[in-house]
C-alpha cells in the first residue's frame, strides 16, 4: 500500500460505511465522479484495516486496463 503523504480530514461516515461493508466480505468497490476522493478514502481505510486481514490488503489499480472484448 502506498504511504499516506498528507493528513486525512473528515469523511468519518464514509470510513464507517467502508469498515462495515468489509466486515461481511473481502471485496468493496467505491464508485463516484472523478476527483471526489474515492482512492484517498480507500487508501486511508485500507491503512486502518490491514491488521484485520492476516493475508494483507492490496490495491489493484485498473485505470490503464483494457476492457474485455
**What are the 10-residue block averages of pLDDT along the chain, 69 residues in total?**
78 89 81 90 84 79 78
Can you say how many angstroms the Cα of residue 62 is from the centroid of all Cα atoms in its chain? 13
DSSP-based three-state secondary structure for 52: helix
Domain that holds residue 11: 1-60
With residue 20 as reference, give the H or E element that holds it: helix 12-23
Domain assignment present for residue 13? The answer is yes
User: What pLDDT does residue 32 have?
Assistant: 92
C-alpha Rg value of the chain to the nearest Å: 13
pTM of the model: 0.71
Do the beta carbons of residue 40 and residue 6 sit within 8 Å?
A: no
With contact defined as beta carbons under 8 Å apart, do 44 and 33 qualify? no
Q: How many folded domains does the chain comprise?
A: 1
Amino acid at each position: 500500500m502506498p504511504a499516506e503523504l498528507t493528513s486525512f480530514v473528515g469523511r468519518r461516515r464514509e470510513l464507517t460505511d467502508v469498515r462495515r461493508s468489509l466486515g461481511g466480505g473481502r471485496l468493496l468497490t467505491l464508485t463516484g465522479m472523478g476527483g471526489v476522493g474515492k482512492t484517498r478514502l480507500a487508501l486511508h481505510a485500507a491503512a486502518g484495516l490491514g491488521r484485520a486481514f492476516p493475508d494483507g490488503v492490496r490495491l489493484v489499480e485498473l485505470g490503464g486496463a483494457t476492457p474485455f472484448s
